Each structure stands twice: as structure tokens, then as C-alpha cells.
Structure 1
């Protein structure tokens, strides 16, 4: 009947471990408070676009890094992908999310930064069937959220279809990763 004392010892050890919390005291009812965080709201963050690795000629690929800095006084959370849209001449082209990608939730403390990358293929100049003559890029921290516009100075963007540029946006990641 040696199995019974071992089972009792294992059960007692398990109960003892579940009664501990991170404060060093006992008590199963004590819970560590969750970290306060919210979605990064308009006016509480700064965006910096570029400098980029510009695609010099049609068919080349360029990468434009974008840095998001938490300017608020509390933690904020970025989830998934930013919303990115190119526009020019009364037309807009939504930029697709990078596939395959496994976006992670990124929590930024005040003054911390995250990044994402806008990758595009340069299109032939002056051919509206093959290129998006983008003049601006609009960026929001969530699809459909408050957006900020910036001049697009990286040339025309190749089109996959009339409404789909040959471009993609990566998920958020902590700056420096």
C-alpha cells in the first residue's frame, strides 16, 4: 500500500502550490490585479513613416517602416494589423495584410514604440491599368479607426487588380524585435 502515501503527498503538494500567490503570502482568494491597458487611442500615439528602402524602378520591391509611439500616460495595446490605404487622384486602394502572418498583441507602456512595415512593388509610371498613382498613405491603428495621412513619395505602386495594389502591411511588433 505504498501508493497511497505517495498520492497523498502529491495531492498535498498540489494544494499547497495553488494556495500561493505572487505576493509570497497564502490564500487562494487573493488574485494579482491585471495590468491596466487599453486600445491605443487617437491623439495618444505618434506615427513616424520611413525612411524607407525605396523601390527605384518598376518591378522592384520597397519597404517602408512605420513607428508607432505611445504618447499617452497609460499602457495601450495594439492588436493585429494597422489599417493602411493608398490614395491619389480621387481613388483609394486598401493595402492587404501580409500573409501568412501570425499577429501578436503588443502592449506599449508610455513612450514605448512598436513598428510595422509597408511592403510594395513599384509600378510602371503613367499606366493606370498597371499602377496606382498614389500621392498619400492613410494609416490607422485598427481597420476603420481614426487615421493620419502622410505624403506618399515612393512612386507609383503596381496593381494586382484595379482595386488591389501589389502591397502588404505586416502586423505590429515591438520596436527592436
Structure 2
């Protein structure tokens, strides 16, 4: 595995501080989404946002959730991005209905050539004892996003918070493994947002991942 010196960016707009990560581009108007297995929609991204950063780095690792399946046809005339730097893009999650929150997943083209990112990243929560949970996908359409070297776009991680109490279904992961769409470039980041309501056996999970460019976070 190799160290990734990208910073975990805190602050949902964060246009100024994203200079070190890559300029967020090609965002479109937000849309609702449901998990592949059905279920709750993601909250709106219209809340006020602040510009802050953290020095926490992501690390390239092996394993993680599958990001190679069913991510749309290859775009004509441009290669899919083989790698991408990953970061989490908010100081605190944006809250929607009840205890559901959303966190932007930043994906930056770290190659030397223009390429396309499209589809769903693989997302897997992990605990230090080896327990893991692979998230299901929402039902967003696949939108190709063309990125010049250093440019970024975003997907979205939607989760149900369980507060501070941990129990059978109140589950506190230590880290989240994110694999950019159509790659095996898995990267580990610390999970700083507390316990989540684990629903990996649910028909309608409220924790899931949304596609690249499915939500407008106010960054161009």
C-alpha cells in the first residue's frame, strides 16, 4: 500500500481550501435517490457550509467494496479514470429527515491526463475487530463527469446516525474504505461521525451511497 498525501477536506463548499485537493467541477442540480434495495431518500444539500481543513490523510489499501460492477458504458473518446484521490468533504454532515445525514465523497483525478469518472464508488465501513459493512447503491442515473488533471467531482455517502450509544444495531466504525468507480484504488479514511444504525440485512436500508454528480454541493 502507498500513502496518499491528499487531505480530508472539511467544509462542504470549501472552494478555497480545495486548491490542495482539486477544484470541484461539473456538479449538477441535486436529485432524490433511494437505495438499490429501496428505502429512504438523501437529505438536501442546501445547508450553510464552512471552509475548514483537516490534516488527516487517506491511505491506499487492498480490498474494500466492489466498485467495478454496473457503472455504465465506457464513454466515447475518453478513458475512465484508473485512480482518484479520495476525501470527505464536510466539517459536519448535512442533516436531512430524522437522523439521516449526507457526506460528500470527493474524487480527484490524480493522473496526468483528462479522464472520466462515472457511477458509484464502493464504500465499506470497518471496525478494528475486523467487522465490515459494504453499502448498497442508490438508484441514481449514471452521469459521466470529465475531469482534467487535478479536477474533482463528488459522490455522496448517506447514513443513519445512532448517536453515541453502541449496541446490536448501533455500530461505531473506525474507518471507511472508499473505492472510486471503475477502479480497484481503495483508500482508507478515519470515520469521525460516530455510531451509525447498522442495517445491512434490511430490505430498505437508510445508509447507502449515491452516484457521482447526483447532488449539487454548490461547487463548480
Q: TM-score, normalised by structure 2?
A: 0.54
- Kindly state the Cα deviation for residue 53 of structure 1 after the two structures are TM-superposed: 3.6
Displacement of 1:140:
0.5
Task: Kindly provide the CA deviation profile for residues 115-166 of structure 1, in whole angstroms up to 9, marking residues without a partner as x.
Answer: 0111100125220x21222110000113672200000010111022458964
Deviation at 1:71, TM superposition (A): 2.0
Determine the C-alpha separation between the residues in 2 that align with 1:133 and 1:68: 25
Equivalent of 2:79 in 38, 41, 48: 38
Q: For the Cα contact (< 8 Å) 1:95–1:169, is it kept in 2?
A: yes
Rg (Cα) greater in structure: 1
Task: Select 1:94's aligned residue among 116, 131, 134.
Answer: 134
Report the RMSD for the aligned CA atoms in angstroms: 2.8
TM-score with structure 1 setting the length: 0.66
Spell out structure 1 runs of 4+ moving beyond 6 A: none
- Please give the alpha-carbon distance, in whole angstroms, between the structure 1 residues aligned to 2:115 and 2:105: 17
Corresponding position of 2:192: 153
Which residue of the partner structure matches residue 177 of structure 2? 138
Partner Cα separation in structure 2 for residue 52 and residue 117 of structure 1: 15
Choose the corresponding residue for 1:62, options 101, 104, 107: 101
- How many residue pairs match? The answer is 138
Q: Deviations over 1:21-49 (max 9, x none)?
A: xxxxxxxxxxxxx975222123xx32221
Gaps of 5+ in 1: 1-33
- Greater RCO (CA < 8 Å, at least 6 residues apart): 2
